[in-house]
Amino acid sequence: MIKTNKDSLPIIGVMGKAVPPQVWGQGGSIIDQNGVAHKMPAVGGIAYNVTLGDNCMKIRGDHFAPGVSTSGADPDSERAWKLYACIGNKAVIIDGPLKGKEGMVFGNSGGCRLKSLIFDKETTDQMIGTERFLVKSRGFGTEIEGFPNVQVGLIDPDLLEKMVEEKDGKLEVHVKRVIPADMMGGGVGNDGISYGDYEIMTDDPDLYEKYNLGELCFGDLVLLTGTDTTFYNTYVRTAVTFGVIVHGDSLSLGHGPGVMPIVCSKEEVIVPVMDENANIINYVKEA
Amino acid sequence: MLRTNVDRLPMIAVEGSIRHPMVPATDVVGVNGTAYNAVSMGGITYNFQVGDNCMQPYGEHVEPGVTTRNLTNPGECMTYSTYSCVGNTAMIASGPARGAKGFVTGEHGGCEHVICWFDQETLMQLTYEDKVLVRSWGNGLQLLDYPDIMCMNLDPNLLNKMGIREENGKLIVPVTHKIPNYLMGSGKGASRRQSSMLAQSGDYDIITSDKEEVEARNFNDLRYGDIVLLEDADNTYGRGYLQGAVTIGVVIHGDTLIGGHGPGVTTLLTCKKPLIEGVIDKNANIAYYLGIKDIEE
C-alpha cells in the first residue's frame, strides 16, 4: 500500500454552482471531421440519465459529461474550484430543498473548464440547476512517499491509496486500455495535472477499432504511454500517465474522450495491470 | 502552373495594429518544473526575421519582424487573422513609414497575431501607434485538378513560387523537415469557440519537450519560414490524426521552454489522402520564395 502526505494537506472549503448547457456553433451544430454539421447537445447542465460507469462513446452528445456540470460559485472562486476540488472529495448541496445531500467530485472538462459532480439518481432527478455546492477540498499537493519523480493529479488521497499499489519499486495500477502518445490530441500543451482533461483522438476509424475505444465508459481507467502531464500535456518518450475518462466522444477533428491524470511521471515507474473492468467506480464503492 | 480558382477570389483589405509584447514571461515554469525568465511573443523584433533560425532566440514563442493584431473587437480580430494569408502583401498604413510594403509570414493562433516582415529601414521607423493594412487574398483558394487537397492561409502567388511539381496525380512539395503527428502539439484540436473552421487561421506547435527527438530530427535547424510536411495530419476541418493524411505548413514562431509547445506551423495545404509528398530541400523557405533573402550557395 502506498503512503501519502495526506496528513499534511490542508482541507480548504471551495464553492461551486450548477451551470446551464452551453450551446456551441451555428444552430448548435457540431462540425465533424468531414465538414458535415450534426445537431446534438454539448456540455453543461444536469445529465439526468448519464452517470459514472455508463458507456461514454455512443451518446448523441459532444464532449458530454456525466452528473451535474459546475463552475466556481463566482468569478473569484473559479480557479480554486477547478484546482482544489479533487476527484473523490465529498460535495454537499448547501441550500434549497436538496440542502445537505452529498455527492462526489468527478472530472474537469478542460476546454470550457466545467467540473462534474456525481450524485445518486434520486438527488439528481430533483435538481433544477440553481444548486450550489460546498467541497471541503483535499488533494492538491498530494505526494507519494518514496516516489519524488511522480506527480499526483487532482485526486482525493484516500481514493488514490486504494487505486495505486506499490510493487517492486514501481506503482501498479489497473487499467482498461493502454493508449500510445500518437493518439493524444485536444488539450496538448495545457497545464498538465492542473488543467483538466487530455483527449484521445477518435478521428481515425482503424485506430478506433485497434484500441477498441467504443467500449470506453465514464470512469474507466487508462494508461497513456509517452505522455507527460506533470507540468504540461506533452510528449516525452519515457513518460507515463495513469488517468480516468471524464467526458465522452466528439466528432470534431483532434477531439475525443477526455482523460484526467491521476498520477504521472516522466520516468517509467507506473506499470499497468490489464483489467476490462478497471473503473474508478469500483474504488469509490469501497470508500 | 497549378490550375486554381484565383479569378474568383475577392482581395479584401483588413487592418491590424502593431501589438506591444503582452506576456512578461517571468517565473515561467518549464517542462521540467523549473522556473525561468525570458521574453515572449509580440512586438517589433529587430534582430530575428523570417529566414533566420527559429530555435536560436532565447524566449517563448518569439515572433520574427512585426506582430500585429486587430484590437477593435473579437469579430474583427478573428476576421483579420482568418482573412490574412501567408505571402499576402502588407503595408504600413500610418506614421513616417506609411506606404512601406512587406509580407504576411504567419498567423499565430490563440493570441490571433498576424506576423509580418518589413525591411530593416522600415522597422526602425515603426512605433506601437502604427497600423498595418493587409491585402488579404487566398480564402477559398481551390486546386481545380485536386479537389481532395484543401488550400488555406495561402497567397495564390506564393503557391506558384513554392516549387511544387505535379506527378501521377500527386503534388510533390519541397520541404525542410517531415514531422510525425505525435510531435505536433498545442493547437491540435483547438478550441472550437474561436472558430468553427480551425486551421483556416492560427497555427499549431511542434513539440520540442523530448530533446532526443529534437536532435534526431534536426529540429535545431528549423527556421522561420521553413516549409514543413506534417505526417498523418488531417487539417481539413480542424487539426487531427488520420493515417495517410498529409499537411504542408510554414514555420511562423519560435521555440519554447514549456511542454507541449515549440515552433508554430500555419497550415497551407492539407489532404485526408496521401496525395501530397514532400521532398527534402534545405531551400524550402518563404524568405527565398518571396525574395526577402537570397539563397546562399
The string of pLDDT tens digits covering residues A90-121 is 999 999 999 999 999 999 986 767 999 999 99
* 8 Å CB contact of A189 and B260: yes
Probe site for chain A from B29, B237, B247, B255 (most A CB atoms < 10 A)? B237
Sign of CA pseudo-dihedral A228, A233, A237, A242:
positive
Q: The whole model's pTM is what?
A: 0.95
Cα distance between residue A60 and residue A39, in whole Å: 9
Residue of B259, B239, B208, B205 whose CA lies nearest to A194: B259
Residue of A148, A252, A131 whose CA lies nearest to A199: A252
Rounded to a whole number, what is the largest CA-CA distance in chain B? 53
Residue of B110, B85, B98, B84 whose CA lies nearest to B204: B110
Mean per-residue pLDDT, A117-131? 97
Mean per-residue pLDDT, A262-269? 96
Cβ-nearest to A233 among B32, B239, B260: B260
Low-confidence residues in chain B, pLDDT < 50: 194-196
Under the banding of pLDDT at 50, 70 and 90, the label for residue A287 is: very low
Residue of A260, A243, A99, A115 whose CA lies nearest to A187: A260
Residue of B33, B234, B184 whose CA lies nearest to A234: B184
- Closest chain B residue by Cα to residue A37: B196
Q: Is A186 on the interface with B (CB under 8 A)?
A: yes
* 8 Å CB contact of B212 and A237: yes
Is residue B24 within 8 Å of residue B37, measured between CB atoms? no
Cβ-nearest to A199 among B29, B189, B213: B189
Across chain A, mean pLDDT equals 95
Q: Encode pLDDT of A146-185 as tens digits.
A: 999 999 999 999 999 999 999 999 999 999 999 999 999 9
Q: Is A48 on the interface with B (CB under 8 A)?
A: no
Is residue B199 within 8 Å of residue B270, measured between CB atoms? yes
- Rounded to two decimals, the ipTM of the complex is 0.92
- Closest chain B residue by Cα to residue A26: B196
DSSP A148: T
Q: Is A33 on the interface with B (CB under 8 A)?
A: yes
Mean per-residue pLDDT, A48-76? 95
Amino acid residing at B98: R
pLDDT of residue B27: 86
Q: Is B213 on the interface with A (CB under 8 A)?
A: yes
Q: How many CA atoms lie within 13 Å of B248's alpha carbon, on the beta-carbon side?
A: 31
pLDDT of residue B199: 87
Is residue A254 within 8 Å of residue B181, measured between CB atoms? no
pLDDT of residue B4: 98
- Closest chain B residue by Cα to residue A184: B182
Under the banding of pLDDT at 50, 70 and 90, the label for residue A2 is: very high
Residue window 225-284, chain B: list those with CB within 8 Å of chain A. Answer: 232, 234-243, 258-261
- Closest chain A residue by Cα to residue B194: A25
Cα distance between residue A124 and residue B99, in whole Å: 64
pLDDT of residue A109: 86
A20-29, long-range: CB within 8 Å, 24+ apart, which pairs?
Answer: A20/A44, A20/A45, A20/A129, A21/A45, A22/A112, A24/A62, A24/B192, A24/B193, A25/B192, A25/B196, A26/B196
Query: Cell numbers 467504443 correspond to what residue?
Result: A214
Chain B environment of A26 (Cβ under 8 Å): 196
Q: How long, in residues, is chain A?
A: 287
